[in-house]
Amino acid sequence: MAAFRTLDDLQPKGKRVLVRVDLNVPMENGKVTDATRIDRILPTIREIADKGGKVILLAHFGRPKNGPDEANSLKPIAAVLSQHLGRPVAFAADCIGGTAEKAVAAMKDGDVLLLENTRFHKGEEKNDPAIVDGLAKLGDAYVNDAFSAAHRAHASTEGVAHKLPAYAGRTMQAELEALDAALGKPKKPVIAIVGGAKVSTKLDLLGNLVNKVDALVIGGGMANTFLHAQGINVGKSLCEKDLANTAREIMAKADAARCAIILPVDATIAYHFAANAPNQVYGLDAIPDDAMILDVGPRSIERINAAISEASTLVWNGPLGAFELTPFDKGTVAAAHHAGALAKAGKLIAVAGGGDTVAAMNHAGVADDLTYISTAGGAFLEWMEGKALPGVEALRA
Contacts with ligand AMP, residue ranges (CB under 6 A): 195-198, 201, 220-221, 238, 293-294, 318-319, 321-324, 356
- What order of strands is seen across the sheet that includes strand 190-194? 260-262, 215-218, 190-194, 313-317, 349-353, 372-374
Q: How far is the CB of 383 from ligand AMP (least distance, A)?
A: 15
Nearer to ligand AMP, 53 or 235 (CB): 235
Nearer to ligand AMP, 273 or 365 (CB): 273
Q: How far is the CB of 356 from ligand AMP (least distance, A)?
A: 4
Q: How far is the CB of 120 from ligand AMP (least distance, A)?
A: 30
Q: Which residue in the list 15, 16, 20, 37 is annotated as catalytic?
A: 37
Closest residue by Cα to residue 55 from 87, 23, 19, 93: 19
CA–CA dist 54, 204 (Å, integer): 41
How many whole angstroms from its chain centre is CA 103? 33
Q: Which residue in the list 62, 110, 207, 355 is annotated as catalytic?
A: 355
Dihedral sign (CA 375, 378, 381, 383): negative
Closest residue by Cα to residue 264 from 237, 295, 309: 295
Annotated active-site residue 378? The verdict is yes
Annotated active-site residue 241? The verdict is no
CA–CA dist 185, 182 (Å, integer): 7
Annotated active-site residue 63? The verdict is no
> Helices in 203-351 by DSSP H: which ranges?
203-209, 220-229, 244-256, 298-310, 330-344
Q: Rounded to 5 degrees, what are φ and ψ at 222?
A: -65, -25
> Helices in 106-146 by DSSP H: which ranges?
123-126, 129-136
- Which residue is nearest to ligand AMP, using beta carbons? 196
218: helix, coil or strand?
strand
Q: Which residue in the list 75, 378, 386, 387 is annotated as catalytic?
A: 378
Q: How far is the CB of 232 from ligand AMP (least distance, A)?
A: 14
CA–CA dist 36, 110 (Å, integer): 24
Nearer to ligand AMP, 123 or 318 (CB): 318
- Inter-CA distances, 168 with 50, 65, 157, 276, Å: 17, 29, 11, 46
Nearer to ligand AMP, 74 or 284 (CB): 284
Nearer to ligand AMP, 167 or 323 (CB): 323
Q: How far is the CB of 63 from ligand AMP (least distance, A)?
A: 19
Nearer to ligand AMP, 172 or 361 (CB): 361
Residue partners of 324: CB distance under 8 A and separation at least 6: 275, 359
Annotated active-site residue 86? The verdict is no
Q: How far is the CB of 198 from ligand AMP (least distance, A)?
A: 6
Catalytic residue positions, numbered: 37, 198, 355, 378
